[in-house]
Amino acid sequence: MFPEYRSLISTLKGHDVHFDRLFKKHNELDDKINVMTSSNGFDETLIEQLKKKEVVVER
C-alpha cells in the first residue's frame, strides 16, 4: 500500500502511537475484506460496509 510513502509510514509508525494503531486497524480490516472476497458467496453489502467503516481509536 502506497509504496511511495513507505519510508514516511515507517517513520510515523515508529514515532506516533496513534498512527501505528490506526495503521494496524486498517490492515486488519483490509485482511478481513480480502478473506471475505476470496470466498464464494460473499456478502457484497457487508464488504461495502466494512470498506466504509471508520476506524476509531482512542488516544
Give pLDDT tens digits for 11-57.
999 999 999 999 998 889 888 888 888 877 778 888 888 878 755 55
Q: Is 43 contained in some domain?
A: yes
Global model pTM greater than 0.95: no
Q: What is the pLDDT of residue 33?
A: 87
DSSP sequence for 14-59:
HH-HHHHHHHHHHHHHHHHHHHHHHSTT--HHHHHHHHHPPP----
Q: Is 57 contained in some domain?
A: no
Amino acid identity at 52: K
Spatial neighbors of 57 by CB under 8 A, at least 6 apart, are 18, 21, 22, 25
Q: Is 58 contained in some domain?
A: no
Cα separation, 2 vs 59, whole angstroms: 25
Q: Number of folded domains in the chain? A: 1
Could you give phi then psi for residue 56, rounded to 5 degrees? -115, 120
Range of the domain at 39: 3-52
